[in-house]
Amino acid sequence: MSNKDLKGPLTVIKGIGPETAEALGELNIFTVEDLLEHYPFRYEDYRLRDLTEVAHEERLTVEGIVQSEPSLMYYGRKKSRLNVKLLVGNFLIQVIFFNQPYLKNKLAINEYIQVTGKWDMHRRTITASEMQVGPSNKKETLSPIYHVKGSVTVKGIRRFIQLAFHQFGDKVEETLPQALLRKYRLPNRRDAIRMIHFPQDEQDIKQARRRFVYEEFLLFQLKMQALRKFEREQSHGVTHSYDSMKLKEFIEGLPFPLTNAQKRVVNEILTDMKSPYRMSRLLQGDVGSGKTVVAAIALFASHMAGFQGALMVPTEILAEQHAESLKSLLEPFGVRCELLTSSVKGKRRKEVLESLQNGDIHVLIGTHALIQEEVHFKRLGLVITDEQHRFGVEQRKVLREKGENPDVLFMTATPIPRTLAITVFGEMDVSVIDEMPAGRKRIETYWAKHEMLERILAFMEKELAKGRQAYVICPLIEESEKLDVQNAIDVHAALATYFLDRYQIGLMHGRLSADEKEAVMKAFSSNEIQVLVSTTVVEVGVNVPNATMMVIYDAERFGLAQLHQLRGRVGRGNEQSYCILLADPKSEIGKERMQIMTETNDGFVLSERDLELRGPGDFFGRKQSGVPEFKLADMVHDYRALETARNDAVIMIQSSAFWESAEYSSLRESLRKSDVLQGEKLD
The site for ligand ADP (CB under 6 A) is made up of 256, 258-259, 262, 285, 287-293, 413, 437, 543
Sequence letter at residue 450: H
The answer to whether 156 and 164 have CB atoms below 8 angstroms apart is no
Considering the complex, state which of residue 228 and residue 567 has its C-beta at the smaller distance from ligand ADP.
567
Quote the CA–CA distance of 462 and 446 in Å, as a whole number. Answer: 17
Considering the complex, state which of residue 278 and residue 389 has its C-beta at the smaller distance from Mg ion.
389
Q: What is the closest distance, in whole angstroms, from the C-beta atom of residue 22 to Mg ion in the complex? A: 53
616 binds, among ligand ADP, Mg ion, none (CB under 5 to 8 A by kind): none
437 binds, among ligand ADP, Mg ion, none (CB under 5 to 8 A by kind): ligand ADP
Sequence letter at residue 633: A
Considering the complex, state which of residue 301 and residue 641 has its C-beta at the smaller distance from ligand ADP.
301
285 binds, among ligand ADP, Mg ion, none (CB under 5 to 8 A by kind): ligand ADP
- Beta-bridge mates of residue 242: none
Q: Residue 276: which residues within 8 A CB-CB, separation 6 or more?
A: 235, 237, 239
Considering the complex, state which of residue 521 and residue 667 has its C-beta at the smaller distance from ligand ADP.
521
- Strand 469-473 relative to strand 531-534: parallel, antiparallel, unpaired? parallel
Binding footprint of Mg ion, residue count (CB under 5 A): 2
Q: What is the closest distance, in whole angstroms, from the C-beta atom of residue 374 to ligand ADP in the complex? A: 29
Considering the complex, state which of residue 262 and residue 388 has its C-beta at the smaller distance from ligand ADP.
262
290 binds, among ligand ADP, Mg ion, none (CB under 5 to 8 A by kind): ligand ADP
Q: What is the closest distance, in whole angstroms, from the C-beta atom of residue 256 to ligand ADP in the complex? A: 4
Q: What is the closest distance, in whole angstroms, from the C-beta atom of residue 581 to Mg ion in the complex? A: 23
Q: What is the closest distance, in whole angstroms, from the C-beta atom of residue 291 to Mg ion in the complex? A: 5
Closest by Cα among 348, 349, 297, 305 to 325: 297
Inter-CA distances, 474 with 310, 479, 557, Å: 33, 15, 10
Inter-CA distances, 445 with 304, 461, 596, 599, 651, Å: 44, 18, 10, 8, 44
Q: Which helix (H) or strand (E) holds 329?
A: helix 316-330
412 binds, among Mg ion, ligand ADP, none (CB under 5 to 8 A by kind): none
Considering the complex, state which of residue 23 and residue 542 has its C-beta at the smaller distance from Mg ion.
542
Considering the complex, state which of residue 290 and residue 415 has its C-beta at the smaller distance from ligand ADP.
290
Q: What is the closest distance, in whole angstroms, from the C-beta atom of residue 176 to Mg ion in the complex? A: 43
Q: What is the closest distance, in whole angstroms, from the C-beta atom of residue 388 to ligand ADP in the complex? A: 13
240 binds, among ligand ADP, Mg ion, none (CB under 5 to 8 A by kind): none
Neighbouring C-alpha atoms within 13 Å toward the C-beta of 494: 12
| Cα 263 from chain centre | 29
Sequence letter at residue 462: K
Considering the complex, state which of residue 16 and residue 547 has its C-beta at the smaller distance from Mg ion.
547
Contacts within 8 Å (CB) and 24+ apart, 48-57? 48/114, 48/136, 48/140, 50/89, 51/88, 51/89, 51/91, 51/93, 51/119, 54/119, 54/121, 55/119, 55/121, 56/119, 56/120, 56/121, 56/122, 57/118, 57/119, 57/120, 57/121
Q: Residue 552: which residues within 8 A CB-CB, separation 6 or more?
A: 473, 558, 563, 566, 567, 579, 580, 581, 582
Q: What is the closest distance, in whole angstroms, from the C-beta atom of residue 473 to ligand ADP in the complex? A: 18
Q: What is the closest distance, in whole angstroms, from the C-beta atom of residue 553 to ligand ADP in the complex? A: 24
Considering the complex, state which of residue 288 and residue 585 has its C-beta at the smaller distance from ligand ADP.
288
| Cα 271 from chain centre | 30
Inter-CA distances, 658 with 212, 233, 433, Å: 20, 17, 35
Q: What is the footprint of Mg ion within residues 281-310 (CB under 5 A)?
A: 291
Q: What is the closest distance, in whole angstroms, from the C-beta atom of residue 52 to Mg ion in the complex? A: 59
Closest by Cα among 460, 493, 461, 459 to 474: 493
615 binds, among Mg ion, ligand ADP, none (CB under 5 to 8 A by kind): none
Q: What is the footprint of Mg ion within residues 637-656 (CB under 5 A)?
A: none
Q: What is the DSSP string of 259-315?
A: PHHHHHHHHHHHHHHHSSSPPEEEEEE-TTS-HHHHHHHHHHHHHHTT-EEEEE-SS
Q: What is the closest distance, in whole angstroms, from the C-beta atom of residue 335 to ligand ADP in the complex? A: 17
Q: Which residue's Cβ has the minimum distance to ligand ADP?
A: 290
Considering the complex, state which of residue 258 and residue 491 has its C-beta at the smaller distance from ligand ADP.
258
289 binds, among Mg ion, ligand ADP, none (CB under 5 to 8 A by kind): ligand ADP
259 binds, among ligand ADP, Mg ion, none (CB under 5 to 8 A by kind): ligand ADP
573 binds, among Mg ion, ligand ADP, none (CB under 5 to 8 A by kind): none
Q: Which stretch binds Mg ion (CB under 5 A): 221-229, 244-252, 354-362, 535-543?
A: 535-543
**Residues of this chain that bind Mg ion (CB under 5 A):** 291, 541
